[in-house]
Every structure is written in structure tokens, then in C-alpha cells.
Amino acid sequence: MKIFQSFSAPALSQKIGYILAFCGAVAFSAKAIFVKLAYEYEVDSVSFLAIRMLFALPLYLLILAFSKKKIPERESITWLDWLGIIFFGLIGYYFASWLDFIGLQYVTASLERLILFTYPTFTLLISVIFLGQKIQKIQILAVLLTYSGISLAFINDLQLYEQKDVWTGASFILGSALVFAVYLNGTGKLIQKFGTLHYTTLSMTAAGVGVLVHTYFYNQLNIWDFKTEVYSLGALTGIFSTVISSFMFSAGIRRVGASNASLVGSIGPVSTIIMASIFLNEAITLPQIFGTVLVISGILTLSIYKK
């Protein structure tokens, strides 16, 4: 009987949920690898961000068009809600991504993923400073663990690479993590009103328009003269590491819950380090390993405490 119970519908659904969350996290963590590889073909960050959006945005719109779910009654949604979609789409999917892409020009993919992974600590600090939430001792410990790990990895990169580049890149990526934390703090009510599918597709549309406008002023949308490899990597970034990863992780959340999915998502920095070693020939060092362990420990502590 126990054998058959292990294959029951709820248990199977949970197992599938964990697999989806795991694969979604790994797919998203591959983004840094694709971006770093694209930079080898002399593409700039703004153009590559536009290429990524050109592949991702049509898919989101197709998913929205063929979705059976409908946007809730208009009476429950105000013009402020629509402005919120535009604003948070621009900062979460456009501005944060732009800062991240700039930072990747200067630092390793491994350090980038570790710094970005600190966004839950910024979410906590925003809640404490602006929303009056009281911080607990266990949360202070989690923050200390996280930034101790970042410091180890950062010092390691300072010793291996050009110091000025590491400082510059880390600053941009830290800014990206902060902006993403602001985005997360402001989206809760909007997601409840619009639903995850509609919120994601509509905010991605706003971000896509923002990216294309930025690119027009930057180079008049002159993004068609790069090597074929750039567009291949743009397709992988936009489709695999953006669209597919977001829906896989969302599907995982539906089956196992946000807290459990976030715990599984902590595989992200580890998978980035492994892929960076394989595809970018980035060195794996002991300080980097210890730093990664500390960062993941800090974020897991925050996640478990929240749960």
C-alpha cells in the first residue's frame, strides 16, 4: 500500500512542483551565462536587452491572447492600478534588467548571481524602514550571513580581476537587486487584482515598450547588424531564461507554495557558478564557495523564518 500511496495525485503534484521550481531557477540563472557569451561578440548592453525583449515579448502577448482567463471586471480596477502596472513593469523588468546587464560587462557571472540573490534582504530592509515592520534577531543574523558571503566573493574577485571593474559592476548589480526589491514590495495588490498571468504579461509589455524607446534614443533601434550568435543568445535569454523560466517557476509555486519554491530557487547561484566554470572558464575558488554557502544560508534563513 505504501508503494501505491507514494504515487498518489497530491504527492505526484508536489514532486512535479519541486522539479518545475528547480528547473525554472536553473533556467533563470543561465541568463548571466548567455549575456556574458553575447558580450564576446561586441554587442552593447542596451542593444542586447532590446534583442531579449523582442524574443520574449511576443510570446507573453501570445500567451495572454490565447489564455482562457479574463481580466477582472473593470469596476474593481482603477486607472491608478493601470499606472501601477506600467510603473512596476518599467522598474522591475526594464530598469532592473538594464542595471544588471551593465554590471555583467564588468564582473563575473558567479558574482553577479550572488549579488542579485540578495534582493530578499533589501525587501526586508524596505519593509522595516518604510512599512514599520520590526526586525527580529534571526533576520539580522540572516542579513549578516548574506553580506558576509558577498564580501568573501567580492574580495575574491578583487584579487583575480581588475579592481575598478569589480567595483563598478558590483555597484550596478547591487542597484539592480535594490530596484527589484522595490518592485516586489509594490506588486502584491496588483497581482491579486489582475492575476499572475495578466500582471506578468501586461507589465512585460510596459517594460518592452520602455526598452525599445530607450534603444531608439540610444542608437535609433540599430540592432540588426550583429553576428548571428548574438541573436541566438538573445533568443535563449528571452525565451529560455525569461518566458519559460518564469512560467515554470510560477507553476512550481502553484503546486508547492511560494516559500517552498523559494527554497528550491536557492540552487540558482550554485548552478550559475557551475555553468560559468564550464562555459566561461571562470575559476571556482574556496572563498567563492564559502561565500556562496554563506549567502544561501542567509537567504534560506530569511525564507524559513518567513514561512
pLDDT of residue 9: 62
The answer to whether the pTM exceeds 0.85 is: yes
Q: How far is CA 275 from CA 85, 111, 126, 251, 257, in A?
A: 34, 13, 32, 24, 27
- Letter for the amino acid at 173? I
- Letter for the amino acid at 207? A
Q: How many CB atoms lie within 10 A of CB 9?
A: 7
pLDDT of residue 74: 55
Residue 302: name the closest of 274, 265, 251 by CA: 265
pLDDT of residue 17: 87
pLDDT of residue 75: 56
Q: Three-state SS across the chain?
A: CHHHHCCCHHHHHHHHHHHHHHHHHHHHHCHHHHHHHHHCCCCCHHHHHHHHHHHHHHHHHHHHHHCCCCCCCHHHCCHHHHHHHHHHHHHHHHHHHHHHHHHCCCCCHHHHHHHHCCHHHHHHHHHHHHCCCCCCHHHHHHHHHHHHHHHHHHHHHHHHCCHHHHHHHHHHHHHHHHHHHHHHHHCHHHHHHHCHHHHHHHHHHHHHHHHHHHHHHHHCCCCCCCCHHHHHHHHHHHHHHHHHHHHHHHHHHHHHCHHHHHHHCCHHHHHHHHHHHHHCCCCCCHHHHHHHHHHHHHHHHHHHHHC
Instruction: Please give the angle made by the CA atoms of 213, 214 and 219, to the nearest 5 degrees.
Output: 100
Q: Rounded to whole angstroms, how far apart are CA atoms 228 and 54?
A: 15
Residue 146: name the closest of 289, 295, 29, 255 by CA: 295
Residue 145: name the closest of 300, 42, 298 by CA: 298
pLDDT of residue 251: 83
Write out the chain's pLDDT in tens, 307 residues.
444 344 456 778 788 988 998 999 999 999 999 999 999 999 999 999 999 999 999 999 898 888 766 666 555 788 899 999 999 999 999 999 999 999 999 999 999 999 998 888 898 888 888 878 888 888 899 999 999 999 999 999 998 888 989 999 999 999 999 999 998 888 878 888 888 888 888 998 999 999 999 999 999 999 999 999 999 999 999 999 999 998 888 888 778 876 677 778 888 899 999 999 999 999 899 999 999 999 999 988 887 766 5
pLDDT of residue 302: 82
Residue 301: name the closest of 252, 263, 246 by CA: 263
If phi over 0 gives left and psi between -120 and 50 gives alpha, with beta otherwise, what is residue 73?
beta
pLDDT of residue 188: 78
Residues 6+ away with beta carbon under 8 Å from 164: none
Any idea where the domains of the chain sit in the sequence?
Answer: 15-306
